Amino acid sequence: MKVELTVNGESRLTEVEPRKSLLDCLRDNFNLNGAHAGCEHGVCGACTVLVDGQPVRSCLMFAVQADGYAITTIEGLTPAPGELSVIQDAFCETHGMQCGYCTPAMVLTAHALLQRNAAPTREEIVESISGNICRCTGYGQIVEAIALAADRLSRANAPQGGAVR
Amino acid sequence: MKPAPFEYVRPDSLEETCALLAADDDARIIAGGQTLVPMLAMRLARPTRLVDILRLRELNGIREDGGAIVIGAATRQADAEGHSLVAARLPLLAKVLPWVGHPPTRNRGTVGGSIAHADPSAEIPLVSVTLGAEIVLRSEAGVEAMSADEFFIGPMVTAIPMGACLTEVRLPVWTAKRVGVGFHEISARRSDFAFVSAAAQVALDTAGTCTQCAIGVGGAGDRPVRFDGASAALVGTKLSNKDIEDAVNMDIGQLETMSDLHASADYRRRVAAVLACRAVGDARDSALGLSS
């Protein structure tokens, strides 16, 4: 079947079998390998992408179902080639990644959270990544990274001047 | 972990959906896909054709109608979770929705899908049985409604006839001024499948006497069940902890529980009693305004 997907702001036409997951389509057809295949049945969250800004498991969605939505992968979060987003930077700084397998999904999930909630509590951060498994169990640093990114983003948006910080 | 091949169709109307289902016994409906796709990936299901109803307008949305809140089958769980009518009129559903899967699965998963899948430990079926919801189906033969009690038969087994599509669930609204709800579940990890869950909704008069009560238990046996005997015994009482315990103990003996590698049947029965008591206690306290 032919399907036209909007991925990272770009419209792309491709040919897929109906049984091909959005995950496999992103990886095989578009070479967007940042979405990782973990369990492939919706448990681990490693394949998370944003669909209209909301985190979704791309292994539980078929590519033929994904037309008409704005799909964002980790490749679409960076401001420019070779640069990192504020959230990605925070993950590096706090050692929020170990083997890196769950990282793109964690970063995308954090991105969606911070889009709707600029100052999340620790509980809200934990709840938002509750569907993402890190087998290195580095959750402490991941939570720390998201809190750091939230703090930096809110400072970046605050008016410049003596009152802040 | 790849599904077997199938054909994919996305009809434009419910009528077309019913015609597609009638034409092929091995066709299956897909909406959010959060429970069906894992079954396809593990090849526990091998439909010839998937009929995608997620974008059908007629199946999306939440409205109030004749003493009930009507939720379209393809309404996403995340949309129901944030909906003002659910928050205001269906406090029990509002209470359990954050326990359904995880935020990313609720972004795709639908209210109707959870009901049609009929996992014994799922929260939305539990609320449907507890509140005595009506489940509406449509097929080429016409529209049919049945109570949640008739609908759930066993684990992943429902009374949906061949060729029918679940179109909406009608959850009754309690009009009493003081309504409170409670919900508890036990699982290995938060949002994992519950070993046992219990939900309760109570209404109190101005003196604090119970005028209406509904208690349901999920995960313990092969489908969610309602404790009608206990509920009837509690009406007219002040819902003291002793009243609640005595009433729940009346029904707990008849609860059919199952054993698996997570929990024994005995454990499930004991925990069901404890959680049911806690759920009713919480419902009482929230109706009294003592807690949320």
Q: Is residue A58 part of a domain?
A: yes
Same domain, B199 and B97: no
Q: Is residue B83 part of a domain?
A: yes
Q: Is residue B292 part of a domain?
A: no
Give dist(CA A39, CA A22) in Å, integer. Answer: 14
Give dist(CA B192, CA B188) in Å, integer. Answer: 7
Same domain, A115 and A139: yes
Q: Can you give the pLDDT at residue B51?
A: 98
Task: Express each pLDDT in A122-136 by its tens digit.
Answer: 999 999 999 999 999
Same domain, A94 and A153: yes
**CB atoms < 10 A from the CB of A81, how many?**
6
Same domain, B64 and B138: yes
Give dist(CA A146, CA A94) in Å, integer. Answer: 9
Give chain A's domain count: 2
Strand-pair category, B7-9 with B49-52? parallel
Query: Which tokens sit at B19?
Result: 């015609």
- Looking at the complex, does the CB of residue A65 fall below 8 Å from at least one CB of chain B? yes
Residue B133's nearest CA partner among B146, B148, B144, B119 is: B148
Query: Which of A27, A44, A76 delimits the end of a domain?
Result: A76
Is there a contact between B41 and A41 (Cβ–Cβ < 8 Å)?
yes
Query: Which tokens sit at B81?
Result: 């979770």
Same domain, A137 and A71: no
Question: Domain containing B205: what range?
Answer: 178-287
Q: Can you give the pLDDT at residue A160?
A: 61
DSSP code, position A48? E
Query: Which tokens sit at B29?
Result: 């409906």
Q: How many helices (H) and strands (E) does chain B have?
A: 12, 14
Query: Which of A44, A76, A108 delimits the end of a domain?
Result: A76
Q: Can you give the pLDDT at residue B192?
A: 83
Query: Which of A30, A48, A76 delimits the end of a domain?
Result: A76
Is there a contact between B261 and B274 (Cβ–Cβ < 8 Å)?
no
Q: Is residue B167 within a helix (H) or strand (E), and if so which, with residue range? A: strand B165-172
Q: Is residue A11 part of a domain?
A: yes
> From the list B5, B50, B190, which residue is nearest A17 (CB)?
B5
Query: Which of B52, B69, B87 delimits the end of a domain?
Result: B52
Give chain B's domain count: 3
Same domain, B70 and B141: yes
Same domain, A68 and A117: no
Phi and psi at A71, nearest 5°, equal -100, 130
Residue A157 has pLDDT above 80, yes or no: no
Query: Which of B110, B139, B172 delimits the end of a domain?
Result: B172
Phi and psi at A118, nearest 5°, equal -70, -25
Q: Can you give the pLDDT at residue A110?
A: 98
Residue A158 has pLDDT above 80, yes or no: no
- The domain that holds B269 is classified in CATH as 3.30.390.50
pLDDT along chain B (292 residues), means of 10: 95 97 96 96 95 97 97 98 96 97 95 97 98 98 97 96 97 96 92 93 97 97 96 98 97 94 95 98 94 56
Contacts of B130 (CB under 8 A, 6+ apart): B92, B199, B200, B201, B214, B215, B216, B224, B226
Residue A161 has pLDDT above 90, yes or no: no
Q: Is residue A56 part of a domain?
A: yes
Q: Can you give the pLDDT at residue B291?
A: 61
Question: Domain containing A46: what range?
Answer: 2-76
**CB within 8 Å: B52 and A65:** yes
Q: Is residue A22 part of a domain?
A: yes
Q: Is residue B190 part of a domain?
A: yes
Is there a contact between B198 and B218 (Cβ–Cβ < 8 Å)?
yes
Q: Is residue B2 part of a domain?
A: no
Same domain, B62 and B168: yes
Distances (CA, A) of A114 to A56, A86, A97, A163, A164: 16, 11, 19, 23, 20
Same domain, B216 and B167: no
Give dist(CA A114, CA B132) in Å, integer. Answer: 39
Q: Is residue B22 part of a domain?
A: yes
**CB within 8 Å: A127 and B6:** no
Same domain, A68 and A114: no
Same domain, A37 and A69: yes
- Looking at the complex, does the CB of residue B107 fall below 8 Å from at least one CB of chain A? yes
Residue A163 has pLDDT above 60, yes or no: no
Instruction: Classify B217 as helix, strand or coil.
Output: strand
Q: Is residue A162 part of a domain?
A: no
Instruction: Classify B263 as helix, strand or coil.
Output: coil
Q: Can you give the pLDDT at residue A164?
A: 44
- Looking at the complex, does the CB of residue B1 fall below 8 Å from at least one CB of chain A? yes
Distances (CA, A) of B36 to B28, B45, B109, B237: 9, 8, 10, 44
- Looking at the complex, does the CB of residue A42 fall below 8 Å from at least one CB of chain B? yes
Query: Which tokens sit at A54?
Result: 């909301």
Confidence of residue A7 (pLDDT cuts 50, 70, 90): very high
- The domain that holds A45 is classified in CATH as 3.10.20.30
- Looking at the complex, does the CB of residue B224 fall below 8 Å from at least one CB of chain A? no
Same domain, B24 and B95: no
Residue among A65, A123, A124 with most chain B CBs within 10 A, to mutate: A65
Q: Is residue B206 part of a domain?
A: yes
> From the list A18, A40, A62, which residue is nearest B1 (CB)?
A40
Task: Express each pLDDT in A49-91 by its tens digit.
Answer: 999 999 999 999 999 999 999 999 999 999 888 899 999 999 9
Same domain, A93 and A58: no
- The domain that holds B133 is classified in CATH as 3.30.465.10
